[in-house]
Amino acid sequence: MKKFTLFFVLLGTSVFAHAGAMGIVKERMDGMKAIGASLKSVAPMMTGKVEFDPALAEQASQVIIEHSGQNMIDRFPEGSEGGVSEAANTIWENPEAFAEIAFELEKLAAEIPNADLSAEARLQLFQDIGQTCKDCHSDYRIEN
């Protein structure tokens, strides 16, 4: 349960960071907010609290995919650090590792609509997604 609480605390802190963001920084902040909202929308079914909803799972998956992988990488061009950005310089210092996390999130998100997953596998998938987000925030985000 602690993992889920920390996961949602991390997602909730992004709301305050949007003040004054413009251009690509605002785009990526909005993308992260969309990822968080999508994960929050599927949390009850991924954790077994409600029945699996294929339509909701597909919708959340598509939103996360839209904002992960290469799309996420493209929202962090060199020179977009500083200001209201919460992006740590490690993104540009180690772009291969950042890309690995972005593509891992995309891969995991594609599994969300898989109706054949057992309840245990679905929970593990959700935990893996949460850990991927946490790892990225730990290494590539400046906490305010």
The model's pLDDT over 59-74, given as tens digits with 9 standing for 90+, comes to: 999 999 999 999 999 9
Of 105, 108, 92, the closest CA to residue 136 belongs to: 105
Higher local confidence (pLDDT), 31 or 13: 31
pLDDT band at 14 (very low <50, low <70, confident <90, very high): very low
3-state secondary structure 53-79: CHHHHHHHHHHHHHCCHHHHHHCCCCC
The model's pLDDT over 80-120, given as tens digits with 9 standing for 90+, comes to: 988 889 999 999 999 999 999 999 999 999 999 999 999 99
Q: Flag whether pLDDT at 13 surpasses 50.
A: no
Reported pTM: 0.86
Residue 121 has a CB neighbour count (10 Å cut-off) of 12
Q: What angle do CA 2, 53, 115 make, to 5 degrees?
A: 90
3-state secondary structure 72-132: HHHCCCCCCCCCCCCECCHHHHCHHHHHHHHHHHHHHHCCCCCCCCCHHHHHHHHHHHHHH
